[in-house]
Amino acid sequence: MMAPKVSAKVQAETLIRSLSEKGFSEREIARRGSVSRATVWNVLNPEARRGGVRESAAGEIAKNLRHNEKMSLLRDYGTVWVEPANKRERSKIGSYWRAVRVARESGDWKGLEKYRGKSVTVIDKGKRSKLKLMSDRDQEAFAKLEERHLLKPDEITRGRSGLLPRPQPKKEDET
């Protein structure tokens, strides 16, 4: 039995409420969803009985807000799960993991030179903070992480927050 299809408007409004419950400000939710703060306020205050999300814009808003999955970030003591502040930070973490993989496979850590002094902005409990990325100068830390098998993670992203479940593979009938 399939779940009933949820409209884009309901999805967008539910995502706005869930981000608010996680501690995100109205301004941050509006920025992430590419909507006005007034729209976010209207969704969060239904007793005011002013509109919410327009049906025509709901699909795009839901798509923008759905990108709040966590990503694994390498620290000198291991990996931590963080929520990147925006798409640029998400991309930076992804390219960083690729550089770590290439450096690990080749044994040449010079590829991480471009990450010296670089940091990523993440959101923790609704507040932004900067976390420094490890670079080619952190050889001892990389060696310790390699011993603990933490340089080859099983997954880099976790927890898509969309309302609809991921599609399950179809089971073949065994007869």
What are residue 71's phi and psi, to 5 degrees? -130, 150
Same domain (yes/no): 153, 108: yes
Same domain (yes/no): 24, 50: yes
Same domain (yes/no): 79, 142: yes
> Strand, helix or coil at 114?
helix
- Has residue 170 been placed in a domain? no
Same domain (yes/no): 92, 18: no
- Has residue 169 been placed in a domain? no
Contact status, residue 118 vs residue 139, Cβ threshold 8 Å: no
Contact status, residue 53 vs residue 149, Cβ threshold 8 Å: no
- Residue 165, pLDDT score: 40
- Residue 120, pLDDT score: 93
Residue 29 neighbours by CB under 8 Å, 6+ apart: 16, 19, 20, 40, 65
- Residue 162, pLDDT score: 36
- Has residue 172 been placed in a domain? no
What does the pLDDT profile of the chain (175 residues) look like in tens digits? Answer: 555 677 888 888 888 888 888 778 888 888 888 888 888 888 888 887 777 777 777 888 887 777 667 888 888 888 888 888 877 888 899 899 888 888 888 888 888 899 999 999 888 776 788 999 998 888 888 888 888 877 776 566 654 443 334 445 556 655 5
Strand residues in the chain grouped as ranges (E): 70-75, 78-84, 119-124, 127-132, 157-158
- Residue 54, pLDDT score: 78
Same domain (yes/no): 49, 76: no
- Residue 22, pLDDT score: 79
- Has residue 135 been placed in a domain? yes
* pTM of this structure: 0.62
Dist CA 7 CA 50 (whole Å) = 19
- Residue 68, pLDDT score: 62
